[in-house]
Structure 1
Amino acid sequence: MQSSDEVAAAVGRNVRALRTQRRMTIDALAAAAGVSRGTVIQIETARGNPSIGTLVHLAEALRVGVASLVDGDASPRVVVRRAEQAVPLWSSDAGSTAVFRIGTDPPDVVELWDWTLQPGDSFDGEAHPMGTAEVLSVLEGRLGLRVGAAEHELDTGDTLMFQAHVPHRYSGAGAEPVRFTMVVVQPGDAGLVPPGAIAQAVDQ
């Protein structure tokens, strides 16, 4: 069993790490949890053991369970999703599929998809929040991609990244099915970034 000092150290470390991941200031976390700024500072510096009520409010504000705050294991989190756990979230009458492999929780969302499109079949993607990017890599076949008004074709082995805040379409552009992986990256502040700032960042 952990000592009270070990629990305080684990809670402080976990609260600080989760707050940083969620890009929250100490004041923002204090307001969301209904505690004082000094309480958050004391907890993060392991200068006191918070009450159960304070832990519950902090967990709710950080969108985790209490277990995530008191867990003393500092080992990196590892999530394994076996092949049979993959979720097919879209299919067409032609036999095309989009399989969701794995993803992260907000605020910074990363998703990994496995797509197969039959020749001539297509999927229309809606515009994502400003700041969202997609990365596509073709494993087999030829992929057609339309981003806004621009048309692109990718052969096997080609990889492309694009800003996904406009409507876009994926299509099977060859005589054989095309299979490609897609990574969607949506930062927690997506939708709050000025368009010019994104274009400037990509050009650099």
Structure 2
Amino acid sequence: MMDLMQSPDAVATAIGRNVRALRRQRRMTIEALAAAAGVSRGTVIQIETARGNPSIGTLVHLAEALRVGVTSLVDGDASPRVVVRRAEQAVPLWSNETGSTAVFRIGTDPPDVVELWEWTLQPGDAFDGEAHATGTTEVLSVLSGRLGLRVGSTEHELAEGDTVMFQAHAPHRYAGAGPDPVRFTMVVLQPGDAGLVPPSAIAPAEPDPPN
């Protein structure tokens, strides 16, 4: 039988690639990751450049600091991640007695959050959305019907096929504005630093350490 175990070099390469990618996704410097994991800066550099396999303890501490499981660090599959959420797995998270619904289709985990929703509002129904963290953006696209949208003190009306993008750090309201139900999709984009610090305060991305 063929031995499917990865070689130590392949494991080290996978761990280095995954640690570096996750650190960058979380906008962490090498120093910040080292401090959070309780290891030295040199250890993080050695791991990211695949100069040796870390101990189990170090892997566990890195995974905790990066908020993932150990599997995410040792996975050697470099192909793009694909997550399929079947229709029956969609979660209705809001509804009322008239038949209006908000269905959560799919989303990502923090720190950079992307959510896809599908809404149906019956004529005259409305939903008041609370203000999100500064830096959050919403994108709405009307599939059918007419949508009334209020962002802060500004009101808009959108028809079938219309799309709008707005900063969602003010209270907002969606409403069925026509004689028929309105169906629309909503994408919520909330970067990990939303509401925390201004862009100028974010540490610049570090270049890769030399090989």
TM-score range, shorter chain: over 0.9
Which of 39, 42, 56 matches 1:38?
42
Quote the Cα distance in structure 2 between the aligned partners of 1:94 and 1:168: 21
Number of residues of Structure 1 aligned to a counterpart in Structure 2: 195
Contact 1:146–1:168 (Cα < 8 Å) also in 2: yes
Residue identity opposite 1:78 in structure 2: V
Which of 16, 31, 42 matches 1:12?
16
* 1:95 and 2:95 correspond: no
Residue identity opposite 2:106 in structure 1: I
What TM-score, normalized by structure 1, do the two folds share? 0.94
Aligned pairs for 1:110-121 within 5 A: 110-121=114-125
Quote the Cα distance in structure 2 between the aligned partners of 1:7 and 1:194: 38
* 1:146 and 2:146 correspond: no
Which of 178, 181, 184 matches 1:180?
184
CA RMSD of aligned residues (A): 1.0
Which of 109, 133, 137 matches 1:133?
137
Identity of aligned residues (%): 87
2:142 aligned counterpart, secondary structure:
strand
Runs of 4+ with deviation above 6 angstroms: none
| Counterpart in the other structure of 2:61 | 57
| Counterpart in the other structure of 2:207 | none
Quote the Cα distance in structure 1 between the aligned partners of 2:196 and 2:89: 34
Task: Please report how far the alpha carbon of residue 193 of structure 1 lies from its aligned counterpart in structure 2 after TM superposition.
Answer: 5.0
Task: Please report how far the alpha carbon of residue 93 of structure 1 lies from its aligned counterpart in structure 2 after TM superposition.
Answer: 1.6
Residue identity opposite 1:64 in structure 2: V
| Unpaired runs of at least 5, structure 1 | 196-204
What TM-score, normalized by structure 2, do the two folds share? 0.91
| Counterpart in the other structure of 1:122 | 126
Task: Please report how far the alpha carbon of residue 194 of structure 1 lies from its aligned counterpart in structure 2 after TM superposition.
Answer: 4.7
* 1:157 and 2:150 correspond: no
